[in-house]
């Protein structure tokens, strides 16, 4: 253990002297998490909308007034002839065309038509906005016809209760996924880069002349990188997600960090494995993209696993990244305890242990080739 401790201190000193890598790590767990939380929004917010009000009735005015902030910008009154130009120039995402005589036809029992034009190149806002506008228009029509919403006439009353994210804040989800993604990427990259850095600078040969075992060298790199990532994870979780973004932490922070230790056992071993395959830092970067990018895309953090083909769902469930995302979301969002997430945590640790043994075998062969 004394040898591992000395090698661990050496790894931390090496990272401290590599100011570029140190700056990248600090940025990834602070500013990058905040930027991704608010830069990738799944909410309808401040969407530009135009109104062609051919009816100019109290009902059409009520519909216009219902399209309010923060979901929409103040509606822009335009004519039918200005629609094409406004949408071609991407000045408007939505245009609501209310025909002449709309209120009179509705009062007479006829079924008039309102046209909603959508710029679907703004895909996220287009889908959300279309549903929201239809709901608002339907509510105003119901209020006009009966003087109240027609919920009381429905055969079944649907009462919606939102759990775990009552404000439907996208930043909470995207910020957490940014943190988990950065944990994966930086732990793999730092470990592989540490091995490549020693190889390129010639310090690996110095280490091999010392009375140390391959497992001691590998453990020092795994523990060093894991310690740095774990500390920054705690800082990002409490400082960025909880304090700055305002995300409530429903579950135990200690349980989440304990599960992160199991996951880091796998990712750092993966970094060692990739470091033994690559012959330069550039090759390590290419291998990193080929391996880590699919892991993140198929983890269930960006898209639900249920939306994938069944064979792909089965294949991705053996990945520790998928298991980590599952129990991290359960702990941080839903306040799950150990008796709920122990299966995913055990799978993460088991697969990580197997890969550690596999990477150690590869690392031994790698060191033997260097001597």
Would residue 308 count as lying in a domain? yes
Q: Are residues 232 and 94 in the same domain?
A: no
Range of the domain at 132: 49-153
* CA distances for 186 relative to 79, 82, 226, 229, angstroms: 53, 50, 10, 8
Chain mean pLDDT for the chain: 88
Residues 15, 18, 21, 24, CA torsion sign: positive
Of 101, 125, 153, which residue constitutes the final position of a domain?
153
Q: Are residues 289 and 227 in the same domain?
A: yes
Q: Token pair of 327, please?
A: 């129990």
Q: Cα(111)–Cα(136) distance, rounded to whole angstroms?
A: 17
- Please report the pLDDT score of residue 149 as a whole number: 46
Per-residue pLDDT reduced to its tens digit, 340-366:
999 999 999 999 999 999 999 998 888
Would residue 159 count as lying in a domain? no
Q: Are residues 218 and 315 in the same domain?
A: yes
Instruction: Say which residue the tokens 């592989």 belong to.
Output: 192
Mean pLDDT on 35-63: 87
Would residue 322 count as lying in a domain? yes
Would residue 250 count as lying in a domain? yes
For the cut 60, the answer to whether the pLDDT of residue 2 exceeds it is yes
Per-residue pLDDT reduced to its tens digit, 140-159:
888 888 764 444 455 555 67
Instruction: Say which residue the tokens 């730092």 belong to.
Output: 190
Q: Are residues 300 and 361 in the same domain?
A: yes
Would residue 164 count as lying in a domain? no
- Please report the pLDDT score of residue 371 as a whole number: 67
Q: Which helix (H) or strand (E) holds 270?
A: helix 253-277
DSSP assignment of 84-109: HHHHHTTS-SEEEEEPTTHHHHHHTT
* Residue 300, helix vs strand vs coil: coil
Of 101, 128, 153, which residue constitutes the final position of a domain?
153
Q: Are residues 207 and 143 in the same domain?
A: no
Q: Are residues 264 and 124 in the same domain?
A: no
Better-predicted residue by pLDDT, 41 or 276: 276
Of 123, 153, 183, which residue constitutes the final position of a domain?
153
Is residue 150 a contact partner of residue 142, using CB atoms and an 8 Å limit? yes
Would residue 162 count as lying in a domain? no
Q: Are residues 204 and 125 in the same domain?
A: no
Q: Are residues 266 and 144 in the same domain?
A: no
Q: Are residues 148 and 193 in the same domain?
A: no
Number of domains in the chain: 2
CATH (domain of 146): 3.40.1710.10
Q: Are residues 189 and 76 in the same domain?
A: no
Q: Are residues 59 and 136 in the same domain?
A: yes
- Among the residue ranges 130-139, 165-174, 187-196, 311-320, the one predicted with the least confidence is 165-174
């Amino acid at each position: 253990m004394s040898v591992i401790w000395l090698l661990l201190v050496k790894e931390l000193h090496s990272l401290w002297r590599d100011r570029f890598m140190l700056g990248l790590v600090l940025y990834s767990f602070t500013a990058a998490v905040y930027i991704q939380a608010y830069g990738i929004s799944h909410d309808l917010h401040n969407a530009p909308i135009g109104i062609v009000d051919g009816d100019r009735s109290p009902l059409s005015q009520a519909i216009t007034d219902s399209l309010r902030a923060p979901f929409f910008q103040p509606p822009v009154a335009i004519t039918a002839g200005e629609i094409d130009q406004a949408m071609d120039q991407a000045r408007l995402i939505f245009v609501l065309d209310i025909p002449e005589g709309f209120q009179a036809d509705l009062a007479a029992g006829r079924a008039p038509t309102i046209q909603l034009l959508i710029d679907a190149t703004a895909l996220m806002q287009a889908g959300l906005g279309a549903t929201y506008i239809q709901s608002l228009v339907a509510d105003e029509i119901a209020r006009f016809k009966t003087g109240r919403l027609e919920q009381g006439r429905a055969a079944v009353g649907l009462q919606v209760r939102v759990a775990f994210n009552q404000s439907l804040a996208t930043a909470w989800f995207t910020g957490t996924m940014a943190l988990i993604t950065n944990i994966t990427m930086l732990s793999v990259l730092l470990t592989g880069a540490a091995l490549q850095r020693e190889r390129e600078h010639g310090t690996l040969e110095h280490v091999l002349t010392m009375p140390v075992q391959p497992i001691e060298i590998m453990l020092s790199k795994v523990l060093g990188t894991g310690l740095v990532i774990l500390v920054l994870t705690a800082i990002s979780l409490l400082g960025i997600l909880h304090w700055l973004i305002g995300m409530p932490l429903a579950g135990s922070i200690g349980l989440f960090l304990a599960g992160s230790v199991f996951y880091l056992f796998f990712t750092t071993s993966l970094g060692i494995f990739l470091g033994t395959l690559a012959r330069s830092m550039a090759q390590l970067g290419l291998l990193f993209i080929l391996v880590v990018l699919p892991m993140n895309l198929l983890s269930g953090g960006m898209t639900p696993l249920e939306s994938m083909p069944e064979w792909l769902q089965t294949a991705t469930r053996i990945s520790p990244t998928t298991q980590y995302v599952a129990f991290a979301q359960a702990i941080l969002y839903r306040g799950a305890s150990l008796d709920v997430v122990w299966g995913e945590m055990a799978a993460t640790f088991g697969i990580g242990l197997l890969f550690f043994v596999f990477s150690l075998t590869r690392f031994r062969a790698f060191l033997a080739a260097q001597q």
